[in-house]
Structure 1
């Protein structure tokens, strides 16, 4: 659930971030209205609490996944929640790229694609990896919430076998596994971001 939804978030949220940067601070495209609509949509989805989003998206989940229960079904609301979240994080990362570099490449005849491929993405990559790490960790927590409404995973295990059966040991093991997962993801993200930083 976590890795599939995050992968979808990167594949869709990344281009959204590029579009917002390209029409904003990087000034690659001049589109006055469309970016504001995209920003409004991104902020609107981010404003909805995840548990509410789960319920609202049940018909959509059932249409896409064929069911509203189980791990596969949970990927739909998780991905929809993660896309705007990662898009904003990626946008902030890309906004940190030195505008002077973009102007220098533009001055020597660099195309928009050249600026994106050889300036914006490479320069923002360490920060993007850090943002991806935060997104993954957020999805770990969200997947546990999804488990409370029958999505499976650790949240389901904690609710059904821990909370409902008054089994504190199961609850503590679930918490321990979640903490371990978050620590491993954070360590891997920090290590990779450090390697890519230049």
Structure 2
């Protein structure tokens, strides 16, 4: 790994170093991995000395896409989130919709460590509905159970970055937006006779 003069990993390799550090206990070779990128890892925002919400490029530098193992129904294996977050104690922080306001059938869900003592994660906190999120977080796609079979679980970095940036810059209330779109989906399903 290239290093800067002070012995620290350079900016290009810093995220890889941190990701490897956070996932050092993972046994990637012992289980089959999906080929799709199905999660986005949000690094601790204190890793780099820059404001993670300065601009879209800086935001992107604090994220990384991941391959997480799934079962035959494309659900995460129970050990995946504890291993990625390096803690068996994690919580669902929030659910939020994509910035594309025509999407009602799926949403993102974010998980983070429970009772973490690490610094505040500014990026994750933008989406948390006023809750303070500490340490790393993970974003996955999710949907109502009756729509799971048709969900494309692939997560793209561009969409996640654009969505986080949209919530940050627009000042949209994540919980309010989630409630409104969920209501539209439910009412739309009732109108279709679901």
Same fold (TM over 0.5): no
Give 1 or 2 for the bigger CA radius of gyration. 1
Name the one with the larger helix percent. 1
Name the one with the larger strand percent. 2
TM-score range, shorter chain: under 0.3
